[in-house]
Chains A and B, each alone.
Chain A
């Protein structure tokens, strides 16, 4: 899509541009090519992640999870036009918040992930960079390029494992509080269904090495 605007984020994965149209703000998310991948892998990833992202944002929305609405998708340049959310990633604000407020946001993060899981979907990259907090403390979740449908217990366990990992590497001094409140939200939302997933999360952590 050819739209003018200012870059607001350049990540490893995408270029995020804020564009103004019809007196409103939108975000254009484009996935550039990764020169270190061979073209066959590169183009198939760009295509599959772009379409997964659209699908994920929409399915999440239908499950009652706040996500930006998708307005257009262009599979020629792997771009998506979606609503601009006037918020800040939790990762950036976490250290400025009191532990109660932070805990409450994490609790909501846990409920959001649980709603996705109940709907048979995993987020795939559930980090605190992908949770946007608006001024009224509403939580939005974005970045569904790695999301998957028909989720199994294993896939959900990996999702929780990734949350734990993200808290460990980005919020090491607050990780206990953040993790326990996230899990609390997850369990409150899912009830008994949460048990096998939590067990799997612990099992996954033990893998990947000789022992």
Chain B
């Protein structure tokens, strides 16, 4: 059995998780920086990681009930993400690898979301809808790589909800509050619905939604309209990807996967195509270390390790640039 410690730190969360080669999550702890004003500040987030990282790593080892000597591999989120956050996380991973004398593995954050979701669901080959504060993508495996079939052309869905929330005085993250109010809304106000090929755009509907609020329309109706429009767009591109790839598994992951209305809509899309559906459970859907650890184990199995000298971070690492040697 191989034991891997995975460190995640691509954006505002830092996480440490320990997973065994049998697919058991032995521990998984994280902390998220909650910005009070404005979006996330890369430098503040990296300071957060530097400050809390060692404590969280210690806690993950204690929670797993192992001694540091039992760790066989160190994996870290090498990209994509915010440069300062990635560098802080990579530094911790490198020193752990040197100190323990174990191999170092660089994991692609998006690939990790898919792999931990596949582990939890038992899916082999899903169309993945990955929705979070920083990402909105529809990804599927084709020709030896995970390929992005569609993504947002401007802002991510979680970011759109947070920016709207801030405009109307909600606390960060605004997603749960928008969902709650949307349940009480019933009147649909038209918002720009923007699908281009399999890509989507949320900035136009964000601007219009803010205007509706400034005009004094009821907030619950606006939240309802935002959800139906934004999720409808996502469902449509997901459906196109399913029809296009003819795959029969649909995986929903990322922080926004918590939303029940989005889940219901995507479950409906999957049913329409006779596909199985799985929503990744909240502890494994957000940014955390277990997904990095598990993907580290998969990469280790095919000899995909890094030399310290070539372990530089990859802020713009694309999903389809990672070879997926463990899948045929």
Least distance between A210 CB and chain B CB atoms (Å): 4
CB distance from B16 to the nearest CB of A (A): 21
Q: Are A172 and B153 in contact (CB under 8 A)?
A: no
Contacts of B196 in A (CB 8 A): 124-125, 146, 158, 162
Q: Could you tell me the distance in whole angstroms from the C-beta of B241 to the nearest C-beta in chain A?
A: 9
Stretch at the interface among B25-33, B206-214, B228-236: B228-236
Known contacts: A36-B235, A41-B228, A165-B148. The answer to whether A12 contacts B243 by CB under 8 A is: yes
> Which residues of chain A come closer than 8 Å to B145, judged between CB atoms?
172
Task: Determine the distance from Cα of A86 to Cα of B121 in the docked complex, in whole angstroms.
Answer: 43
* B193 in contact with A41 (CB, 8 Å): yes
Report if B256 contacts A (CB, 8 A). no
Q: Mark B150-171, 1 if CB is under 8 A from A, else 0.
A: 1111111000000000000000
Give min CB distance, B28 to chain A, whole Å. Answer: 23
Query: What distance in Å separates the Cβ of B196 from its nearest Cβ neighbour in chain A?
Result: 5
Main secondary structure of the interface of A (DSSP, over half): loop
B298 close to chain A: CB less than 8 A = no
- Contacts A35-B268, A158-B196, A168-B320 given; indicate if A209 touches B143 (C-beta within 8 A): no
* Contact A168-B147, Cβ < 8 Å, known A124-B197, A158-B196: yes
Residues of B within 8 A of A209 (CB): 80, 134-135, 156
Of A70-78, A188-196, A200-208, the one with at least 4 CB within 8 A of chain B: A200-208
Q: Is the CB of B228 within 8 A of A165?
A: no
In the bound assembly, the distance between CA atoms of A36 and B238 in angstroms comes to 12
Determine whether B11 belongs to the interface, using a CB cutoff of 8 Å to chain A.
yes
**Is B147 a contact partner of A40 (Cβ separation < 8 A)?**
no
Within the complex, the shortest CB–CB distance from A175 to chain B, in Å, comes to 10
Whether, in the assembled complex, B312 has its beta carbon less than 8 Å from a beta carbon of chain A, the answer is no
Q: Using a Cβ cutoff of 8 Å, how many contacts connect chains A and B?
A: 102
Binary flags per residue of B118-155, CB closer than 8 Å to A gives 1, else 0: 00000000000000001110001011010111111111
Q: Are the C-beta atoms of B228 and A208 separated by less than 8 Å?
A: no
Size range of the chain A interface in the assembly: 35 or more
B153 and A158 contacting across the interface, CB-CB below 8 Å? yes
B197–A208 touching, CB < 8 Å? no
How does the 8 Å CB contact mask read for A166-179 relative to B, with 1 for contact and 0 for none? 10111011000000
The interface residues of chain A lying within 8 Å CB-to-CB of B155 are 208
> Is the C-beta of B198 less than 8 angstroms from some C-beta in chain A?
yes
Residues of B with C-beta under 8 A to A83:
none
A207 near B142 with CB under 8 A, answer: no
Q: A162-B197, A206-B316, A209-B135 are in contact. Are A38 and B154 (CB under 8 A)?
A: no
List residues of A (113-137) whose CB comes within 8 Å of B's CBs: 124-127, 129
Interface pair A36/B269, CB less than 8 Å apart: yes
Pick the residue among B81, B143, B152, B156 that contacts A173 (CB under 8 A).
B143
Residue of B whose beta carbon sits closest to that of A206: B316
Closest 5 A-B residue pairs measured CB to CB?
A12-B243, A162-B197, A172-B143, A210-B134, A36-B268
Interface residues of B (CB under 8 A from A): 11, 40, 80-83, 134-136, 140, 142-143, 145, 147-156, 188, 190, 193, 195-199, 228-229, 232, 235-236, 239-240, 242-244, 265, 268-269, 272, 315-316, 320
